[in-house]
Amino acid sequence: MKNKKIILLVIVVAVALLGLRVYSQFQKFGESISKIQKPSFNIPKPNFNLDTSTVSEKKFTSEDKRVSFIYPSDFKETNQNILTGLNETATTSIEVLFYAYKMGFPDLSFSFFTLEKINATGSNATSVIEKIKQSSETKQEKIKILNREDNNNETTFEALYQKDSYDFHSKERIYFFESEVYLLSFFAQSNTWDKSKNIFDKILESVKIY
């Protein structure tokens, strides 16, 4: 029972971490998410299957067909109710397109990744990262940008997000289009980052932009 409570707590923290995201729309995420009422809203049950031999690949393609990627099947994709709830708390300028998580056993490690679309005409990588910092500061979170690499219409960076209740390491890539920005982000607990980072590197290698 104690482990189940810990698992549920970690999942709730992970969902709340979507509030770290880009732009000030998410600054009141904590207040508004508590007001969501969905008749069939359920937190996804963690997958307790420890047999990694059955892990295969799944493909995600955004509805607008602009972005697609391959990810491991042992990441549990959230149901549409959760995505709808998250998007109801934001303004029309940002949309969560994808959110999936993985619970590790027996250490109860946790990792997740998201894809978001932002209406951000004229934005550049520096302004996007700066707004991420500002959003974190309003939540009394410590954020540290570890590195950054700019490459044509893409910017990749790693960061630490720290608060009393969590300590996450992220790797994030910003994709710039004419009128929109796509942000693909992977988060893992800092103490498990070394064994988790290769997962996201493979996902990044599979990304196709159309």
Tell me the per-residue pLDDT of 200-209, one tens digit each, with 9 for 90 and over: 999 999 999 8
Does residue 155 surpass a pLDDT of 60? yes
Can you say how many angstroms the Cα of residue 18 is from the centroid of all Cα atoms in its chain?
Answer: 6
Q: Which range is least confidently modeled, 27-41, 107-121, 164-178?
A: 27-41
Supply the pLDDT for residue 190.
93
Q: Which phi-psi region, left, alpha or beta, contains residue 16 (left: φ > 0; alpha: ψ -120 to 50)?
A: alpha
* Separation CA 164–CA 144 (nearest Å): 15
Tell me the pTM: 0.72
Does residue 42 surpass a pLDDT of 70? no
Does residue 154 surpass a pLDDT of 50? yes
CATH topology of domain 2-36+56-209: Protein Transport Mog1p; Chain A (3.40.1000)
Can you say how many angstroms the Cα of residue 41 is from the centroid of all Cα atoms in its chain?
Answer: 20
**pLDDT interval class at 28 (50, 70, 90):** very low
Instruction: Please write the tens of the pLDDT for every residue from 89-107.
Output: 444 567 888 999 998 777 7
**What would the mean pLDDT of 77-88 be, rounded to a whole number?**
64
Mean pLDDT, the chain, rounded, equals 75
**pLDDT interval class at 72 (50, 70, 90):** very high
More confident position, 27 or 149:
149
Query: What SS3 class is residue 154?
Result: strand
Does residue 34 surpass a pLDDT of 70? no
Supply the pLDDT for residue 51.
52
Identity of the amino acid at 81: N
The pLDDT > 90 percentage for the chain reads: 36
**What would the mean pLDDT of 180-192 be, rounded to a whole number?**
91
Does residue 147 surpass a pLDDT of 90? yes
Supply the pLDDT for residue 30.
37
The answer to whether the beta carbons of residues 159 and 140 sit under 8 Å apart is no
Does residue 128 surpass a pLDDT of 90? no
